[in-house]
């Protein structure tokens, strides 16, 4: 499929970097789509940047369609610490005549890139584009897990209306459904009603309050390690660090925590797409939010550069297996610890039919704290939640 038709080229002024010739910039890694160079050859590319100029469903945050080039202007001049990443910047997906046209373009482009084993970084635009990103996996028939850095659940009030604050409802209701699990990182309780909380619990989704996330940011690593795609709402970061969104507020993650989570996401060997949404230059101050978003992408790339192909499989010699028997529950739990990275998984040898596909889910990411909890004769929440989902 020729995806070039969906894109418009970048202006050279957006991606031009001036600086010492002794430095190696992120720009030096990237093959951009410009009028002069043409559409990049993707045959040797492993990462693609995709801008989306769309904000018709942004509700009160209109103006976020201007985000992609603002973020690029801050990303390209950052110094690169890697020389083996091969990145193409495909330019910006043209805004369709209707919003459905834009969704279709995002879906087709992302699916095409995933089929080519190219990791896709979407720079939005409004967060309803997450729905279009999700549809790409339906295109290729893959059951997936989604992680979202978000202060709310984006369930909306009317399941018929798709917008930046209701896209998750549309994903949940979509048939056939290819969503196995959803993980929220950093929701703020005063923005979430009790019915939404109960729905998340009934669906056995993993939801994590902002206070718990900030108490031990390292516990977000297994949360994002379980994801195939990730959606980041910039307004989940406090306004002091990221003022560039109508929804920015006094509380939220700080910039360092957001960057750390992005690095964890990059290190996730199974993650194939990520989107950065809701940045609005109209609300930004001295382009601080554009700078932070560019740095979050930089940390994501740093994580990708340090991937270890660290995925458990049967009889692998790269993992140490631990057995824990819980007397009160009469359950035998098995944990795996990677010799490469010291990361942990719980073994759950179950097959579950979900949607059109058959999901083999023998291992779920966890932390050392989960192993310690089992040693203390307590069932880890991750194990229990997954067992309930598979019943």
pLDDT digits 0-9 by tens, 249-286? 999 999 999 999 999 999 999 999 999 999 999 999 99
CA dist., res. 371 & res. 375, Å (int): 6
Q: Is the pLDDT of residue 131 over 60?
A: yes
Confidence band, pLDDT 50/70/90 cuts, at residue 391:
confident
Whole-Å CA distances, 182 to 4, 6, 61, 378: 32, 29, 24, 24
Widest CA span in the chain: 69
CA dist., res. 86 & res. 82, Å (int): 10
User: Which domains, and CATH codes, for the chain?
Assistant: 3-305 (3.40.800.10), 319-390 (no CATH)
**Closest C-alpha to 293, from 221, 250, 245, 226:** 245
CA dist., res. 94 & res. 73, Å (int): 19
CA dist., res. 96 & res. 309, Å (int): 38
Looking at residue 159, its pLDDT comes to 56
Given its phi and psi angles, is residue 185 left (phi above 0), alpha (psi -120 to 50 degrees) or beta? beta
Confidence band, pLDDT 50/70/90 cuts, at residue 389:
confident
Confidence band, pLDDT 50/70/90 cuts, at residue 62:
very high
Q: Is the pLDDT of residue 390 over 90?
A: no
pTM summary value: 0.95
CA dist., res. 304 & res. 266, Å (int): 4
Q: What are phi and psi of 344, to 5 degrees?
A: -120, 150
Given its phi and psi angles, is residue 287 left (phi above 0), alpha (psi -120 to 50 degrees) or beta? left
pLDDT digits 0-9 by tens, 179-207? 999 999 999 999 999 999 999 999 999 99
Q: Is the pLDDT of residue 316 over 80?
A: yes
Q: Is the pLDDT of residue 35 over 90?
A: yes
CB within 8 Å of 225: residues ≥ 6 apart: 264, 267, 268, 270, 343, 365
3-class DSSP assignment, residue 27: helix
């Amino acid at each position: 499929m020729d995806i070039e038709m969906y894109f418009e080229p970048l202006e050279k002024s957006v991606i031009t970097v001036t600086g010492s010739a002794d430095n190696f910039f992120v720009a030096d890694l990237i093959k951009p789509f410009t009028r002069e160079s043409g559409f990049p050859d993707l045959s040797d590319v492993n990462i693609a940047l995709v801008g989306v100029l769309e904000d018709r469903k942004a509700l009160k945050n209109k103006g976020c369609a201007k985000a992609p080039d603002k973020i690029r202007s801050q990303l390209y001049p950052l110094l690169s610490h890697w020389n083996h990443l091969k990145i193409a910047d495909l330019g910006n997906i043209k805004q369709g005549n209707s919003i459905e046209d834009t969704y279709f373009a995002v879906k087709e482009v992302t699916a095409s890139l995933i089929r080519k084993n190219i990791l896709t970084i979407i720079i939005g635009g409004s967060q309803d584009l997450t729905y279009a990103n999700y549809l790409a996996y339906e295109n290729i028939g893959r059951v997936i897990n989604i992680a979202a850095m978000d202060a709310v659940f984006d369930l909306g009030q009317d399941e018929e209306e798709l917008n930046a604050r209701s896209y998750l409802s549309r994903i949940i209701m979509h048939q056939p459904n290819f969503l196995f699990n959803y993980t929220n990182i950093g929701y703020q309780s005063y923005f979430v009603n009790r019915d939404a909380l109960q729905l998340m619990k009934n669906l056995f989704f993993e939801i994590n309050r902002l206070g718990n996330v900030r108490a031990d940011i390292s516990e977000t690593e297994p949360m994002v390690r379980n994801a195939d795609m990730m959606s980041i709402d910039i307004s989940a970061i406090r306004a002091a660090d990221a003022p560039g969104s109508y929804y920015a507020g006094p509380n939220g993650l700080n910039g360092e925590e957001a960057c750390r989570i992005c690095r964890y996401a990059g290190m996730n060997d199974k993650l194939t797409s990520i989107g950065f949404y809701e940045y609005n230059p109209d609300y930004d101050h001295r382009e601080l939010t554009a700078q932070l978003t560019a740095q979050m992408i930089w940390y994501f790339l740093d994580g990708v550069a340090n991937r270890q192909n660290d995925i458990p499989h049967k009889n692998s010699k790269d993992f140490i297996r631990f057995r824990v028997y819980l007397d009160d529950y009469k359950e035998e739990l098995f944990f795996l610890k990677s010799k490469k990275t010291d990361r942990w998984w719980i073994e759950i040898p179950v097959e579950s039919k979900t949607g059109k596909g058959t999901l083999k889910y023998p291992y779920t990411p966890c932390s050392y704290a989960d192993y310690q909890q089992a040693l203390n004769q307590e069932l880890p929440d991750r194990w229990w939640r997954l067992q309930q989902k598979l019943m």
